[in-house]
Amino acid sequence: MKIYFSASVASIDKNRSNYEAIVSVLESLGHSVISDHVLKKTKLEYESQSEKESLAIQRKMANWKKQAEMSVFEVSTPSFGIGQEINFALNNRKPVLALYTTGSNPHILRDEGEELLFLLEYELKTLKNSLVEYIDYAKQQQDVRFNFFVSPEIQHYLDWLAKYKRTPRAVYLRELLERDMKENKDWKKQK
């Protein structure tokens, strides 16, 4: 899968090791990751870019985001630019995984993106397992989208699960269906 990765330029020098770890894990999982615009520069290099250079990289980034099948953002540091990139990806119907470190919960993103935005608190030691699960789910979102209506009580329950159990609504519903498919004898006969 082709993945676009980005993170806060303001924290690039401070958090570079986390950014590199995320990209490394994604690549180790066999993904092609577009990340040079983040990992190949320092904060000072960004700040000293001319307007012409800045516009040129923005155009390249827009093309990279369009080509990517998914976007992954490190959002531990609030960033207006990253917010714009997330919005761009969601408006183009691309799955977005927003990673944040413990204690850096991006509250502003909680109700955005519905089925396409996944917020994931991470630690470097468990990063690989977390990424595998969420990227697999994001891949499935590209294949089929299914919308249906639920009662306000069901919606409230799903919202509660998402907020307090940190389980995306769609992940919970998919797991219920998968469990039912495994147990349904008539379905098994049909396969």
Tell me: the pLDDT tens digits for 69-97?
A: 899 999 998 888 898 899 888 888 888 89
Phi, psi of 31 (to 5 degrees): -90, 150
The answer to whether residues 65 and 18 belong to one domain is yes
* Residues 26 and 33: beta-carbon distance below 8 Å: yes
112 pLDDT more than 70: no
178 pLDDT more than 90: no
Name the burial class of residue 186, with classes exposed (0-12), middle (13-18) and buried (19+) by CB atoms within 10 angstroms of its CB.
exposed
The answer to whether residues 102 and 151 belong to one domain is no
Using alpha carbons only, give the angle 126, 127, 132 rounded to the nearest 5 degrees.
Answer: 110
Domain count, the chain: 2
20 pLDDT more than 90: yes
Angle at which helices 127-143 and 12-28 cross, to 10°: 70
Which pLDDT band, with edges at 50, 70 and 90, does 113 fall under? low
The answer to whether residues 36 and 75 belong to one domain is yes
The answer to whether residues 90 and 174 belong to one domain is no
Integer Cα distance of 98 and 74 in angstroms = 6
The answer to whether residues 163 and 120 belong to one domain is no
* Average of per-residue pLDDT across 46-61: 89
Which residue range forms the structural domain that includes residue 50?
2-145
Which pLDDT band, with edges at 50, 70 and 90, does 108 fall under? low
**pLDDT reported for residue 34:** 92
Integer Cα distance of 171 and 173 in angstroms = 6
166 pLDDT more than 90: no
171 vs 63, 168, 174, CA distance in Å?
Answer: 30, 5, 5
pLDDT, the chain, mean? 85
The answer to whether residues 100 and 160 belong to one domain is no
The answer to whether residues 124 and 40 belong to one domain is yes
Angle at which helices 51-67 and 80-91 cross, to 10°: 40
**pLDDT reported for residue 129:** 85
The answer to whether residues 90 and 20 belong to one domain is yes
Pairing of strands 32-34, 70-74: unpaired
Which pLDDT band, with edges at 50, 70 and 90, does 27 fall under? very high
Which pLDDT band, with edges at 50, 70 and 90, does 114 fall under? low
State the amino acid at position 53 in one-letter form.
E
The answer to whether residues 153 and 190 belong to one domain is yes
**pLDDT reported for residue 99:** 92
**pLDDT reported for residue 130:** 83
Residue 74: DSSP 8-state: E
**pLDDT reported for residue 133:** 80
State the amino acid at position 175 in one-letter form.
E
The answer to whether residues 57 and 132 belong to one domain is yes
Which pLDDT band, with edges at 50, 70 and 90, does 150 fall under? confident
* Average of per-residue pLDDT across 113-128: 82
The answer to whether residues 135 and 175 belong to one domain is no
Beta bridge partners of 97: 72, 118
